[in-house]
Amino acid sequence: DTGVSQDPRHKITKRGQNVTFRCDPISEHNRLYWYRQTLGQGPEFLTYFQNEAQLEKSRLLSDRFSAERPKGSFSTLEIQRTEQGDSAMYLCASSTITSSYNEQFFGPGTRLTVL
């Protein structure tokens, strides 16, 4: 399978704990995005990498959120001191710079529940 993969698919944690999610993009894609989606809403942009460089970060991303993409391959999203409001589906997407219309390929998401 050469699609975008995310791990874990589900995460339940207690408030105040740290969590880390992983995304493996399509191998030849140099762009990687993180979005957050809550029930009844569209995906909300969190951050964006081109290769290993983090080029854009949403104001939604508080200091408790950090993302990395070492070596321009997989990416991790860490949430520190989780809050109940962090409960959401975290989606990763990738695309290639050569695409003429920025088609983004989404992974299955990591559903986070903060108790």
Partner 1 sequence: GQSLEQPSEVTAVEGAIVQINCTYQTSGFYGLSWYQQHDGGAPTFLSYNALDGLEETGRFSSFLSRSDSYGYLLLQELQMKDSASYFCAIDRGSTLGRLYFGRGTQLTVWP
Residue 80 or 96 having the CB closest to partner 1: 96
| Distance of alpha carbon 91 from alpha carbon 96, whole angstroms | 17
| Distance of alpha carbon 4 from alpha carbon 109, whole angstroms | 9
Span interacting with partner 1, options 10-18, 42-50, 63-71, 73-81, rule CB under 8 A: 42-50
Residues 6 or more apart whose Cβ sits within 8 Å of residue 8: 21, 110
The answer to whether 51 contacts partner 1 (rule: CB under 8 A) is no
Figure out which of the listed residues 109, 110, 112, 114 binds partner 1, where binding follows CB under 8 A.
109
Span interacting with partner 1, options 19-27, 62-70, 72-80, 96-104, rule CB under 8 A: 96-104
Q: Which of residues 19-38 bind partner 1 (CB under 8 A)?
A: 31, 33, 35
Figure out which of the listed residues 24, 45, 80, 87 binds partner 1, where binding follows CB under 8 A.
45
Give me the residues that bind partner 1 (CB under 8 A), please.
4, 31, 33, 35, 40-45, 48, 50, 55-56, 58, 91, 93, 97, 99-109
